[in-house]
Amino acid sequence: MADMHGGFSASVNAMYDQAVALMDLSPGLAQKIRVCNATYTVRFGVRLRGAIHTFTGYRSVHSEHMEPVKGGIRYSLAVHQDEVEALAALMTYKCALVETPFGGSKGGLCIDPREWEPHELEQITRRFAYELIKRDMINPAQNVPAPDMGTGEREMAWISDQYQRMNTTDINGRACVTGKPPHAGGIAGRVEATGRGVQYALQEFFRHPDDIAKAGLSGTLDGKRVVVQGLGNVGWHAAQFLSTEDGCKIIAVIERDGAVQSDDGLDVEALRAHIQSTGGVKDFPGATYEADGSKLLEAECDILIPAALEGTIHEGNAARVQAPLIIEAANGPVTAEANAILLEKGTVIIPDLYANAGGVTVSYFEWVKNLSHIRFGRMQRRAEEARHHVLVNELERLSKNRDVAWTLSDDFKKNYLRGAGELELVRSGLDDTMRGAYQSMREVWHDRDDVHDLRTAGFIVAISRIAATYQAKGL
Ligand code: NAD
């Protein structure tokens, strides 16, 4: 991996600047949108294992043109200020691109979560949350975190509970964080959302023959050979859906301890279980193991999905990356230098600010659900079913009076009569969002002669919307 210290923000800003250069934006406004508004650093001690341990955490607010601001909390030893600020900036652009009404934020804690027992992690998380809550850096109206690398439903439930303990009369307390478990105010489909969004993004890409041709590919997703880096929350769901629902073949998976490959396609579910029981991909039956996993980023394949962390495709390896289509499931996996090399080669990149926006989209639905205090579909589902019943009954009645009687198949009736529950509504909203955002990027990509890639197009769409918000405020 390239050394990204001090470089990740520079990389995001370079991509931002490239887009701004093609826009009619005053230099003052361009600078205002670009800068990170504030970063709070906190150091706190927790007594664990008979000693006091000091932890360092960050919460960065990139843009407050809309509030609350939104962005995940990452647990990793590599967390540092520049990384958190770059990720917060990406959140601003991402939210604008997929039209979720939030500004951009991000948080991080310097910790290796695998080194601590669950009860210790709970103490550390609650203390970190306490530090942020008392400064309104976690608040349903101002700043709403979510999961990211190293965190998940469990941590979000602790944060939510901590906020509610400290704000006992806030009726909207649960909306202070998203990505909670379903029994603690979460929403169906949030855990899978980012990976599901990657799948929907690829499905939308493959609906446009011109775009497929630009990548030098043809046909549909069926049979496409895919390499995935990082089989965590995002990578695992993306790989699982693409292989079981779209006919893709996952020919290699790159993890921390190396990579495994199989030309016949890996069973990702079995591989995930293997990682969970052994801690890595090594010795996975029926696959070839490669200790230097990052080599597989350069493997011959149709689609490369970096879904681990930033900076894995850099100046040093970009020229050797053979995939004609890269979808950035992780944030910032391709550095600005690598981006230029890949574009020169004709690689099509579906950029992070769009590709992994499924998470924040479903987080938006969860936040709305928490504020409305009712599950999606609760009021409509049975009414919808009753209306469908009226239609089916009438059709069947009419058919009886005809010479040739016909009936509706049981299968059709089962599918048609069933009203949409929360999961179906969430998936429908996510699919609609991913299609719409792709089309808005694509329009700029195809209509403007000076825009040669989806990333620049995505930035232009996002920046235009943010600029319009600032201008409406009179700035
Ligand atoms: P995760 O912690 O669940 O998974 C990360 C995976 O990557 C793990 O399996 C880990 O072992 C692996 N990994 C770590 N370092 C690696 C390396 N050097 N080489 C290969 N594999 C490595 O995290 P996640 O939530 O899936 O997030 C992954 C990426 O997606 C991050 O960039 C994150 O910012 C981004 N993202 C996550 C969400 C979300 O909803 N969780 C939303 C948007 C974007």
pLDDT at 225 over 90: yes
Written as six digits, the tokens of 165 are 């303990």
Q: Is the pLDDT of residue 6 over 50?
A: no
Determine the distance separating the centroid of ligand 1 and the alpha carbon of 244, expressed in angstroms: 21
CA distance 87 to 330: 11
What is the band of 401 on the pLDDT scale with cuts at 50, 70, 90?
A: confident
* Closest residue by CA, ligand 1 atom 27: 149
Q: Is residue 218 helix, strand or coil? A: coil
CATH entry 3.40.50.720 includes domain 216-346: yes
What are the backbone angles phi and psi of residue 406, rounded to the nearest 5°? -130, 155
How high is the pLDDT of residue 159? 98
Ligand 1 atom 24, closest CA: 149
C-beta 150 within 6 A of ligand 1: yes
- Are the C-beta atoms of residues 178 and 190 closer than 8 Å to each other? yes
pLDDT of residue 5: 43
| 229 within ligand 1 shell (Cβ under 6 A) | yes
Q: Which pLDDT score is estimated for 1?
A: 42
pLDDT band at 400 (very low <50, low <70, confident <90, very high): confident
Residue 396 has what pLDDT? Answer: 86
Closest CA to 424 of 203, 206, 189, 245: 189
With the most atoms of ligand 1 within 8 angstroms of its CB, the residue from 194, 289, 296 to mutate is 194
155, 73 contact by CB (below 8 A) = yes
DSSP annotation of 313 reads: B
| Tens digits of residue pLDDT in 234-293 | 999 999 999 999 999 999 999 999 999 999 999 999 999 999 999 999 999 999 999 999
Q: What is the dihedral of CA 159, 160, 165, 171, to 10 degrees?
A: 150
pLDDT of 397 reads: 87
**Per-residue pLDDT, 475:** 72
Which residue's C-alpha comes closest to atom 16 of ligand 1? 256
Q: In the predicted model, what is the mean pLDDT of residues 113-131?
A: 98
Q: Cβ(296) to ligand 1 under 6 A?
A: no
- 117-to-54, 122, 184, 369 alpha-carbon distances in Å: 17, 9, 22, 32
149 lines ligand 1 (CB under 6 A): yes
Assess whether the region 38-184 and the region 216-346 belong to the same CATH fold.
yes
Where along the chain do its domains lie? 38-184, 216-346
Q: What is the pLDDT of residue 3?
A: 44
- 4 pLDDT above the threshold of 50: no
- Whole-number Å distance, alpha carbon 74 to ligand 1 midpoint, is 10
| For ligand 1, atom 29: residue with the closest CA | 330
How large a percentage of the chain has pLDDT more than 70?
A: 99
Q: Check if 230 has its Cβ closer than 6 Å to any atom of ligand 1.
A: yes
CA-proximal residue: ligand 1, atom 31 (nearest): 330
Give me ligand 1 centre to Cα 99, in Å. Answer: 24
C-beta separation of 380 from 388 below 8 A: no
Task: Judge whether residue 446 has pLDDT over 90.
Answer: yes
Going from the C-alpha of 446 to that of each of 149, 288, 363, the distances in angstroms are: 34, 41, 31
In the predicted structure, residue 80 carries a pLDDT above the cut 60: yes
d(CA 27, CA 464): 14
Q: How confident is the model at residue 189 (pLDDT cuts 50, 70, 90)?
A: very high
Architecture of the CATH domain 38-184: 3-Layer(aba) Sandwich (3.40)
Residue with tokens 């993306």: 238
Gap from CA of 330 to ligand 1 centroid (Å) = 6
- The answer, yes or no, to whether residue 336 has pLDDT greater than 80, is yes
Interatomic CA distance for residues 333 and 60, integer angstroms: 20
CB of 255 closer than 6 angstroms to any ligand 1 atom: yes
Distance 18 CA to ligand 1 centre (A): 27
Active site residue 249: no
Active site residue: 70, 106, 214, 224, which one?
106
CA distances from 203 to 214, 220, 356, 409, 437 (A): 16, 8, 14, 29, 13
Give the Cα separation of 448 and 456 in Å (integer): 11
* CB within 8 Å of 117: residues ≥ 6 apart: none
pLDDT of residue 407: 82
Does the C-beta of 333 come closer than 6 Å to ligand 1? no
Substitution site in 70, 77, 85, 148 for ligand 1 pocket (most atoms within 8 Å of beta carbon): 148
pLDDT in tens, 347-389: 999 999 999 999 999 999 999 999 999 999 999 999 999 999 9
DSSP string of 48-110? Answer: ETTEEEEEEEEEEEEE-SSSSEEEEEEE-TT--HHHHHHHHHHHHHHHHHTT-S-EEEEEEE-
Average pLDDT, the chain: 96
Least confident segment among 41-45, 355-359, 402-406, 462-466: 402-406
Please work out whether the CB of residue 57 comes within 6 Å of at least one atom of ligand 1: no
310 alpha carbon to ligand 1 midpoint, in Å? 9
